[in-house]
A = this chain, B = another copy of it.
Amino acid sequence: MAISMFQASIPVLVRGLTNLSAILDKAAQHAAARKIDPAALLGMRLFPDMFPLTKQVQLACDFAKGAAGRLSGNEPPKFPDEEKTIDELKARIAKTIEYVKGFKPAQIDGSEDRAIAIPIAGQTYNFKGQGYLLGMVLPNFFFHLATAYDLLRHGGVEIGKRDFLGPLETM
């Protein structure tokens, strides 16, 4: 027995994106209750040369759709980075979930050794499917989810670890 590539990717990504969308709902409620401009939350950065919240959400989506596309041998769709509001970011997340959920186990399973070439900063890195998922996709995906969470906590939004994790015992 073992974990399939599908199980280690698609449900994990869908779950994280679903939690992120719910966290953005809480951020919107917080902003409305405190009369905070939501754009102030979306522009928050932890340091001037780090990405703001908007980009953290966009990147979480990009790692998710990139994984589903590349592991299945498809070109992932390009989503332009032009979201300006919480609702627009939630729409991007919804669109990403729809894309990722569209893959069936047979399309992802068996991709452990699939050659996946990723250009990063002008250099091409050559992964196999399993190393791409475990060493690239999941660390980056959770990095951007956690940093989005950290930014909102830093901004005073009342969320907790359970919002980040989602309902326990459900995987």
Contacts and interface: CB of A to CB of B under 8 A. Distances in A.
Contacts of A12: 134-135, 138
A51 B101 CA distance: 34
A64 B121 CA distance: 31
Interface in A91-112: 109-110, 112
Interface residues of A, number: 49
Given A47-B156, A153-B47, A138 B130 contact: no
A164 to B, nearest CB: 6
Interface in A145-165: 145-147, 149-150, 153-154, 156, 161, 164-165
A33 interface: no
A39 interface: no
Q: Counting chain B CB atoms within 10 Å of each CB, which of A47, A135, A165 scores highest?
A: A135
Contacts of A40: none
B142 A143 contact: yes
B150 A46 contact: yes
A130 B169 contact: no
A30 interface: no
Closest 6 CB pairs of A and B: A135-B171, A142-B142, A146-B146, A2-B2, A131-B171, A46-B154
Interface of A: 1-5, 7-8, 11-12, 15-16, 46-47, 50, 109-110, 112-113, 120, 125-127, 130-131, 133-136, 138-140, 142-143, 145-147, 149-150, 153-154, 156, 161, 164-166, 168-171
